[in-house]
């Protein structure tokens, strides 16, 4: 029997953490117009920060967004001491990030709209989300 090689998707689906207050930072070259009540479903795995974690986007686009999940979000807390896991995820020497990897199919409700006024004043929009579960769950 052939051994299965771990990949990012498999690690993300190994849920070992349920935590509120997780955050995510992204940068884009376009404005995102979220509407209060809108449901978002992610199409690929995403890294979210545990409160106290530190992350700076590797790209440098014009618009920044800071997301916070107000309720418990389910995912895989990265084990930085597991060399195989860290290598597969490309997060060697990233302990300061304190990440939780969220599987694809996570669904969120937008709790406030993107006002874009903050892009100029603060340099980013703050978006609060409510985790609703995973697509296809009953």
Of 119 and 127, the structure prediction assigns the larger pLDDT to 127
Tokens of 25: 């930072």
Sheet containing 73-77: order of strands: 17-19, 73-77, 99-102, 46-49, 23-28, 63-69, 125-134, 106-110, 39-41
CA distance 8 to 96: 20
Structural domain boundaries enclosing 66: 8-134
Residue 1 in any domain: the answer is no
Residue 29 in any domain: the answer is yes
Residue 26 in any domain: the answer is yes
| Residue labelled with tokens 């190994």 | 14
Task: List phi, psi (to 5°) of 77.
Answer: -70, 125
Residue 3 in any domain: the answer is no
| Residue labelled with tokens 């207050």 | 21
Average pLDDT over residues 111-123: 75
Residue 100 in any domain: the answer is yes
In the chain, the number of structural domains is 1
pTM of the model: 0.86
Residue 2 in any domain: the answer is no
At 3, is the pLDDT very low, low, confident or very high (cuts 50, 70, 90)?
Answer: very low
Mean pLDDT of the chain: 87
At 136, is the pLDDT very low, low, confident or very high (cuts 50, 70, 90)?
Answer: confident
CA distance 65 to 46: 14
**pLDDT higher than threshold 90 for residue 13:** yes
Question: pLDDT tens for residues 44-84?
Answer: 999 999 988 777 666 788 888 889 999 999 999 999 888 88
**Residue 4's pLDDT is what?**
59
């Amino acid at each position: 029997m052939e051994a299965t090689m771990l990949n990012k998707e498999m690690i993300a689906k190994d849920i070992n953490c349920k935590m509120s207050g997780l955050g995510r930072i992204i940068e884009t070259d376009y404005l995102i117009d979220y509407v209060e009540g809108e449901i978002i479903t992610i199409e690929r795995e995403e890294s979210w920060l545990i409160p106290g974690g530190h992350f700076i986007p590797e790209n440098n686009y014009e618009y920044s967004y800071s997301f916070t999940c107000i309720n418990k979000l389910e995912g895989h807390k990265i084990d930085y001491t597991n060399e195989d896991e860290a290598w597969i995820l490309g997060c060697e020497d990233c302990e300061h990030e304190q990440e939780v990897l969220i599987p694809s199919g996570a669904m969120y409700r937008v709790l406030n709209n993107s006002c874009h006024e903050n892009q100029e004043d603060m340099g980013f929009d703050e978006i609060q989300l409510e985790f609703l579960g995973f697509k296809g769950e009953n």
